[in-house]
Amino acid sequence: MSRSREFRDSVLESDTIVYDLMTNSFEEVDYVIKTLKTAKLKSKKTLIILSSVMTWVNTPAKIQKEGEE
C-alpha cells in the first residue's frame, strides 16, 4: 500500500479515527497507530478499532476465576 503525505495529514487532522479490522488491512491500521505515536500532536486523538468476537477468542482472560491458575 502506498501511503501519501495527504493520507498522513488527514489522519493527523482528524480528532476521531475509526477502523474496522474486518475491511482494512493490519498494515494500514499499524501505520495509523505508528503515525499517531510519533507525531507531535496539538490535540487529543481518539482511535476506535472495530473487530469481531473471533479476533479475541484466543486472548487469555485478565481476570481468572477462583481456583484457576
Separation in Å, CA 45 to CA 26, 32, 61, 64: 20, 12, 28, 33
* 20 within 8 A of 50, measured Cβ to Cβ: yes
The 10 Å Cβ neighbour count of residue 32 is 22
pLDDT at 52: 85
* 36 within 8 A of 11, measured Cβ to Cβ: yes
Tell me the pTM: 0.68
Could you report the average pLDDT of every consecutive run of 10 residues in the chain (69 residues)? 81 93 86 93 92 79 69
| Domain boundaries defined on the chain | 5-53
